[in-house]
């Protein structure tokens, strides 16, 4: 039985004052939730959020990591740096990184590997655009994206990753994949994991992301291959984020 994970992706949002309020409210409402939870915050706020989560069951995560170890890479943040702030998770290959910053499957795979080797849990994002879905390419696109990552990871390390299916057309748009549509793609991703390792297929959590909110979380999370959520907009409102956590 895979324990569900609800991870917030704050994207480029927040301020010292807003983060303090949000995390104080989330900590207060978390109670004895029956799932894992995390917040992936902008890098400059890692230290602040680490302190705010010091006595919390909610884990800390980052939104990106360099594919390099250290050195002359202006603007980059290394996996070792994230670990110094007690990060557990790091998102890699979010569609905004792929779309706006030109990240390729190969780069995303390198980032995932670097995170894994440093001891972080990479949350590997995959997902098709609307044009790709309409052209019937969804399964091929997500398979190509996930295979690029899986092929770099040793078999005994495959269980240490998290995958997130995020249809690009559903991110921040209010349009959600129906539970059946999402389940169908999650099953494809589970098959790709299975092609590498039966254990990984059984243990790796596959999150859904894309306009998940309190109103649709329960039915999405009820699908057999949906093991949690990667939450954007709704993770910025304590009541909504907590409602999703308590639905999981
Ligand atoms: P959304 O974003 O929940 O605002 O659609 C999800 C994501 O991009 O991770």
Segments making up each domain of the chain, as ranges: 5-247
Half-sphere exposure of 57 (CA within 13 A, CB side): 13
Q: Is the pLDDT of residue 181 over 90?
A: yes
Integer Cα distance of 59 and 77 in angstroms = 19
For the Cβ of 212 lying below 6 angstroms from any atom of ligand 1, the answer is yes
How do strand 36-40 and strand 5-9 relate by DSSP bridges?
Answer: parallel
Buried b (16+ CB within 10 A) or exposed e, 183-192: bebbebbbeb
Q: Assess whether pLDDT exceeds 90 at residue 1.
A: no
Checking if the pLDDT of 196 tops 90, the result is yes
* Across 127-152, average pLDDT: 97
Q: How far is the CA of 171 from the centre of ligand 1 (A)?
A: 5
**Lowest model confidence (mean pLDDT) among 90-99, 121-130, 174-183, 192-201:** 174-183
pTM of the model: 0.98
Mean predicted confidence (pLDDT) in 83-109: 98
Contact between 248 and 6 under an 8 Å Cβ cutoff? The reply is: yes
The percentage of the chain sitting over the pLDDT mark of 90, rounded to a whole number, equals 96
5-247 carries CATH number 3.20.20.70: yes
Specify the pLDDT at position 212: 96
User: Which of 209, 229, 237, 243 most suits a substitution to test ligand 1, by most atoms within 8 Å of the C-beta?
Assistant: 209
Q: Is pLDDT at 48 greater than 90 in this prediction?
A: yes
- Mean pLDDT on 201-209: 98
Q: What is the mean pLDDT of residues 177-192?
A: 97
Give the chain's mean pLDDT. Answer: 97
pLDDT value for 83? 98
Q: Is the CB of 150 under 6 A from ligand 1?
A: no
Read off the pLDDT of each residue in 202-227 and give the average, rounded to a whole number: 97
| Contact indicator for 197, 146 with CB cutoff of 8 Å | no
Position 174 scores a pLDDT of 85
Q: Which tokens belong to 69?
A: 């170890």
Structure tokens at 206: 């596959």
pLDDT for 232 equals 97
Mean pLDDT of 62-72: 98
**pLDDT exceeds 90 at position 214:** yes
pLDDT band per the 50, 70, 90 thresholds, residue 191: very high
């Amino acid at each position: 039985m895979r324990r569900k994970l609800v991870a917030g992706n704050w994207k480029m949002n927040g301020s010292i004052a807003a983060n303090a309020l949000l995390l104080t409210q989330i900590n207060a409402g978390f109670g004895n939730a029956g799932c894992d939870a995390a917040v992936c915050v902008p890098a400059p706020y890692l230290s602040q959020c680490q302190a705010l989560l010091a006595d919390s069951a909610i884990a800390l995560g980052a939104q990106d990591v360099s594919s390099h170890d250290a050195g002359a890479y202006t603007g980059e943040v290394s996996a070792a740096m994230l670990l110094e702030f007690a990060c557990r998770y790091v998102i890699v290959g979010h569609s905004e990184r792929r779309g706006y910053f030109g990240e390729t499957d190969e780069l995303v795979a390198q980032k995932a590997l670097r995170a894994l080797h440093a001891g972080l849990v990479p949350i590997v994002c995959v997902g098709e655009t609307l044009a790709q879905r309409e052209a019937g390419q969804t399964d091929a696109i997500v398979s190509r994206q996930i295979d690029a990552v899986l092929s770099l990871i040793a078999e005994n390390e495959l269980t240490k990753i998290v995958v997130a299916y995020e249809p690009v057309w559903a991110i921040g748009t209010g349009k959600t994949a129906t539970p059946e549509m999402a389940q169908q793609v999650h099953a494809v991703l589970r098959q790709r994991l299975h092609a590498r390792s039966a254990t990984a297929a059984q243990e790796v959590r596959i999150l859904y992301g894309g306009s998940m909110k309190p109103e649709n979380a329960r039915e999405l999370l009820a699908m057999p291959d949906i093991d949690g959520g990667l939450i954007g907009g709704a993770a910025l409102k304590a009541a909504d984020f907590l409602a999703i956590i308590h639905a999981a």
